[in-house]
Amino acid sequence: MRVFVPLFLGLCLVGGTAQAGAVKQRKPKGRELALVKEALGGKEPVPKKVLFVSMKSTGAFFFVPVMDFTARPPLQLHLVQDKKLLGTLAPTPADKSWPVLRFEGAVFKDVNDDGLEDVITLTRYMPVTGPKADQVFNQAAIYLGREGKTFELLSGPVLDALNEKPPPSMGEVLKRLKKLDKQKLALPARVSSGPKP
């Protein structure tokens, strides 16, 4: 019986690795971090939260959170590829409403089973006025992959339900996402308004 338990656990781990193989994330090396800083043109990234991400749909890039208190909102989530700014994720309604205390982290994962990787972020806020004054709380955001080229912020009832009770950790966010109906995690289709042939 003792032999079967490690074998079973090993098979479970291998299965989990194969499933998660579409996205690879790691902390950048020192030289890579220097190149990221160069691409940002003087903006200072949050070094412990920068990630090197490799995805089948988008390729390899760096996910770079920046806290720039001269900008509104101060939290900026950049994607850097080949020493160039590939794009910036849209600020969330929470980013626009409350002061950001700290960026907690990001996970790249296909949350809606559409074959495109998505971004889940967690940010800590602390309002100084209003009904939530001096209360520290987290809010999650989901950016759904759009055609493997961009990420679009999910809004509406799904995001409201995810954050109704502030999630204490990214693990809790992922657990809550598993319980959601995948069809509710879909973006509306884009309609072309171009000329007809």
Per-residue pLDDT tens for 53-78? 998 877 899 999 999 888 889 999 99
pLDDT > 90 in the chain, percent = 51
pLDDT reported for residue 16:
33
The three-state secondary structure class of 169 is coil
Residue type, 87: G
Over residues 181-189, mean pLDDT: 72
Q: Which residue has the higher pLDDT, 133 or 164?
A: 164
Looking at the DSSP bridge assignments, the partners of residue 103 are: 123
pLDDT reported for residue 4:
37
pLDDT reported for residue 66:
96
pLDDT at position 26 over 50: yes
How far is the C-alpha of 130 from the C-alpha of 24, rounded, in Å? Answer: 41
- Measured in residues, the chain has a length of 197
pLDDT reported for residue 17:
33
Looking at the DSSP bridge assignments, the partners of residue 158 are: none
Q: How many C-beta neighbours within 10 Å does residue 159 have?
A: 19
| Phi (first) and psi of residue 170, to 5 degrees | -65, -35
- 188: confidence class by pLDDT, cuts 50, 70, 90: low
pLDDT at position 184 over 90: no
pLDDT > 70 in the chain, percent = 84
Rg (CA), the chain: 19
DSSP class of residue 23 equals E
Q: What angle do CA 114, 115, 118 make, to 5 degrees?
A: 80
DSSP class of residue 45 equals B
- 91: confidence class by pLDDT, cuts 50, 70, 90: very high
